[in-house]
Amino acid sequence: MKKRIWISLIVLVLLAAAGGGGYWAYKRYFTKSTTSQTQTLQTATVSQGNILITADGTGNLLPSAEKTVSFLTTGTVTEVNVKVGDKVKAGDVLARLNTLDLDNAVREATYTLEQARLALEKAQRKAKDGTDLAIAAKSLEAARLGIVSAQGSYSSTLLTDITVELQQAKFWDDYWQSELGDAWLALNQNPNSDSRKIQYEDKGSRAASAHATYLSLQQEADNNKTAAQRSMVSAQQSYLSALSSYNDTKYSDPVKEAELTVLQAETKLMQAQENQQNATLVAPITGTVTVVTIYSGNGIVSDSTGSITISNLDTPEVRFYVEESDLDKVAVGNAVSMTFEALGNRAFTGKIVRVDPALVTEGNTQAVQAYASIDPPTQPTTFMSGLSAEVTVIAQETLNAALVPLEALRELTTGQYSVFVVKDDGTLELRPVQVGLKDLVNAEITSGVTAGEVVSLGTQTASTQTTRTTTRSSTSSQSQGGGPMDGGFGGPPGGP
């Protein structure tokens, strides 16, 4: 236990001695540091250069126009005049159908139309003269008189002499039938009487003759009455028909009906002529044939049977996409520059011709879809649909402008700027300027300064630190001789 206490005391003594020696060394060799600050004016020379506000995108080359045509009528293909890769002009004949049936349909429709036009002219003349109505009125009057005549004939038939004859025949028929009955009774009373047999036979013959005469006259009377009735019915029917025809003529419009017939005939002729024209397939635009699915001998039954596609690759367009954040840079009329890897990354120029009104999804991101034309190249170029393109939209640009770094601008009020111009004598002049385009580095100055002048960018503060060491002598320390700390540090070079 005592041993541990002595060790602790020794450690404390040594630490105290070390602390005292450090303080003595600090007092003997004193080091002092001082810091000074200086400000340096930063300047820049007004340069002359360009500012471009751009947006980058990617896309593909497309035909500026593309049309697919097919036959709109049925028939058999007799000729196909093009193949894929052929150059055609608008109006060139691409293919034809057999037109025999179509030609016949046109001739038939033409004949029907001419007949309808003749009927119309006739109706117009009659309407002008009133002929149809006058004829219908005469026919109606004749039919009315026919009824009167038929009624008279029927009445006279009932009052003719044949009725008296029929009554007389009826009388004699009844008389001889009665006499025959009496003779039959007398014969039955004396069946063996020859005279009564003769009387019965005579009266029987007279009764039969009288009855036959009666039946003949009765049949004749019935026939005459029936004929008269039929004539009267026929006259009534003729009157009703004449009355209907008269009303139709009076209240209808034959000219209008004839005009409608002509219109129908004209429509049929136009349809037949259209079918005839559709049998010849022509190029709707100038361009290159890219698809042919119509072949000679094919029977065309619908527009899906075959077609020919023509693409205009002489003046193609580029459909491209830019990020949604660059929407403000994409507008119709803005210039573009583009390159195609397949064409050796040659630079082509053009301008935006349209911008879709809705964002699209491209590569899982929202993008602006736009189309740009391509200016005619200076050397022969083969454009192919689908070529990949790198596109740069030039939203704004200024060329050969006076440029200053953005740090030189001092905004006094909103939109009002000035710069400090460094004069030859080193003084500063605050000068108002008009600012044009700005990019991330420079600003265009349209008035206020010119290229070559020097402007201030502000001041930069620089700090400088100075260290000074002084040696101090101590008599008391030297008189003490070389203590344990003196031997630890030693003196500074050159002695005290």
Residue 9 pLDDT grade (very low, low, confident, very high; cuts 50, 70, 90): very low
Residue 489 has pLDDT above 50, yes or no: no
CB 330 within 8 A of CB 352: yes
Helical H runs in 130-193? 131-158, 162-189
Q: What is the pLDDT of residue 468?
A: 52
pLDDT for the residue 403? 96
Per-residue confidence band for 329, with pLDDT thresholds at 50, 70 and 90: very high
DSSP codes of every residue in 297-345: T-EE-STTS--EEEEE-SS-EEEEEEEGGGGGG--TT-EEEEEEGGGTT
pLDDT number for residue 229:
75
Comparing 257 with 480, the larger pLDDT belongs to 257
- The tens digit of pLDDT for each residue in 441-467 reads 999 999 999 999 999 998 876 555 554
The answer on 230 and 203 residing in a single domain is yes
Whether the model clears a pTM of 0.85, i.e. scores above it, the answer is no
Same domain, 349 and 227: no
84 shares a domain with 57: no
Beta strands in 356-387 (DSSP E): 360-362, 365-373
Alpha carbon 60 to its chain centroid, in Å, reads: 22
In terms of C-beta distances under 8 Å and separation of at least 24 residues, what long-range contacts does 163-166 make, across chains too? 163/221, 165/217, 166/214, 166/217, 166/218, 166/221
Q: How far is CA 239 from CA 124, 149, 235, 495, in A?
A: 27, 12, 6, 165
pLDDT band at 481 (very low <50, low <70, confident <90, very high): very low
Beta bridge partners of 468: 32
Do 322 and 369 reside in the same domain of the chain? yes
**Phi, psi at 354, each rounded to 5°:** -165, 155
Instruction: Evaluate if residue 391 carries a pLDDT over 60.
Output: yes
Same domain for 83 and 114, yes or no, is: no
Q: Is there a domain that residue 179 lies in?
A: yes
For 151, phi then psi, to 5°, come to -65, -40
Taken in order 74, 76, 78, 84, the sign of the CA dihedral is positive
Domain that holds residue 366: 47-64+315-463
Q: How far is CA 431 from CA 80, 410, 412, in A?
A: 77, 10, 11
Same domain, 291 and 333: no
Please tell me whether residues 248 and 135 are part of one structural domain: yes
DSSP element (H, E) containing 25: helix 2-28
- Note the pLDDT of residue 27: 43
Clarify whether residues 298 and 237 are in a common domain. Answer: no
Q: Are residues 140 and 251 in the same domain?
A: yes
Q: What is the pLDDT of residue 84?
A: 92
Q: Please give the pLDDT value at position 205.
A: 85
Same domain assignment for residues 298 and 324: no
Q: What CATH number does residue 157 fall under? A: 1.20.120
- Using the predicted structure, report yes or no on whether residue 493 has a pLDDT greater than 70: no
Cβ pair 366, 326 in contact under 8 A? no
Cβ distance 52 to 401 under 8 Å? no
pLDDT digits (tens, 9 = 90+) for 77-133: 989 999 998 999 999 999 999 888 889 999 999 999 999 999 888 888 877 766 666
Q: Are residues 362 and 406 in the same domain?
A: yes
What digits encode the pLDDT tens for the residues 219-248?
Answer: 877 777 787 777 878 888 887 888 877 777
